[in-house]
Structure 1
Amino acid sequence: MTLEKLLQQGLREMGLDLAAPVQKKLLNFLELLEKWNRAYNLTAVRDPEQMVPRHLLDSLTVLPYLQGPRVLDIGTGAGLPGIPLALARPDLEFTLLDSNAKKTRFATQALHELGLKNVVVQQERVEKFHPETKFDTLIARAFASIPDMLAASRHLCAPHGRFLVMKGVFPQEELAAVTDGYRSEVKSLRIPGLDAARHVVILAPTN
């Protein structure tokens, strides 16, 4: 099956209706990632057919939970999930944050080649990042444990904002370690073409 068909089928199964130009740019991003990956080792996933569910569809599973206008992708790495989400939601402003220069260089190049105007890339540690305006949604996909992530990034969350933490198996112990001050909800996610468990933890500060 072509990558185009794989993506179309996956989106259909997830109930996501993305315009053809957006789907094309998602595949362009994958092509770019694969090309850079050969030289810079940005992701352990090498097979483009695996990249569709593991990177594109996995990133897009949190689309229904985004609230804007400002979204922060903490520890974005190769621009995941931020770039696929920004392609799908041009009405929101995304900031991709990572301390790794190699990865932020790739993300910056990807934005340029994809013509993405609603994204900025910041090379900085999350603890030291202090923008003028806080964020409405903060996403962490492959970051530290939930308590560590909250401790490092709580200062970046707007009063009405929330965190979306993307996890594999249900993070029972990590959630138990979250002290007072957050209202939490866990949603089970299903990614076409991927057998592994996936969950998103939604955390909203209560004070």
Structure 2
Amino acid sequence: MDRSAWRDRLVAAGVSEELAASLALFLELLGRWGEACDLTAELDPESLLRDHVLESLVGAPWLVPGVLLDVGSGAGFPAIPLLLARRDVRGVLLEPRSRRWAFLKEAVRELGLAAEVRRGRLEDGSFSGVENVSVRALAREVWEGKARQLLKPGGRFLWWAGPRACLRPPEGLEDVVTCPLPNPERGWLVVWGRCFT
């Protein structure tokens, strides 16, 4: 699908013209790199739009200004739609796989995002003190023990949880909101906050 067709679909789904244009460029880039880098499963355009782009955007209102650490960035969801929607947020995209890391670097460059792409895993680095963390399609046991230390006081932890996931907050975090996703069969967006104490 070409960029103008993506833009039209995004606008029809309620996305602003400006954001739709940026997201359409991202989706066009994803299409060019997709097969060579195994970025996403073979998806029809409607599923890609609903289950990846619109699902990612559910988190945009819950971010606070500052830095977003996206753990396991993969094909750029949710980080790239979030950063396109929230230009007051800078990104750190963490991805261990080399092809996906290369794609993310190119996407950040082409889209003019205020973000850096790091190759690695959460457990390999010492990350702490960011305003926002996003996690999607990553097992809870990978990040649960580090959730509190990753955030500054007042920060937000956004987790795209499956339909049968345990939604209780990790130690040191508190519930902010739980939002249904555009496709209810895929689960919830759970937003937790770090207390100021």
Q: Indicate the TM-score class for this superposition, using the shorter chain for normalisation.
A: 0.7 to 0.9
Q: 1:190 to 1:205 in 2, by over 3 A?
A: closer
In 2, the alpha carbon distance for the partners of 1:46 and 1:179 equals 33
In structure 1, the gaps of 5 or more residues are: none
State the superposition RMSD in angstroms: 2.3
Among 53, 61, 64, the alignment partner of 2:61 is 64
In 1, the alpha carbon distance for the partners of 2:82 and 2:110 equals 16
Q: Is 1:198 matched with 2:187?
A: yes
Q: If the length of structure 2 is used for normalisation, what is the TM-score? A: 0.86
In 2, the alpha carbon distance for the partners of 1:90 and 1:161 equals 17
In 1, the alpha carbon distance for the partners of 2:170 and 2:11 equals 41
Among 175, 186, 195, the alignment partner of 1:184 is 175
Q: 1:70 to 1:87 in 2, by over 3 A?
A: same
Render the CA deviation track for 1:13-65: whole Å, top value 9, x for unaligned.
xxx5x3x2331120111111122111111111433332111221111011111
Q: 1:164 to 1:187 in 2, by over 3 A?
A: same
In structure 2, the gaps of 5 or more residues are: none
Render the CA deviation track for 1:81-125: whole Å, top value 9, x for unaligned.
111111111121111111112111100011112222x11111121
Q: 1:36 to 1:91 in 2, by over 3 A?
A: same
Q: What is the total number of aligned residue pairs between the two structures?
A: 193
In 2, the alpha carbon distance for the partners of 1:47 and 1:130 equals 38
Among 108, 123, 127, the alignment partner of 2:123 is 127
Structure 1 partner of 2:8:
5
In 2, the alpha carbon distance for the partners of 1:168 and 1:6 equals 26
Contact 1:45 1:51 in 2 (8 A): no
In 2, the alpha carbon distance for the partners of 1:38 and 1:180 equals 40
Contact 1:134 1:157 in 2 (8 A): yes
Percent pairwise identity: 32
Q: Is 1:23 matched with 2:23?
A: no
Q: 1:104 to 1:83 in 2, by over 3 A?
A: same
| Letter in structure 2 aligned against 1:196 | E
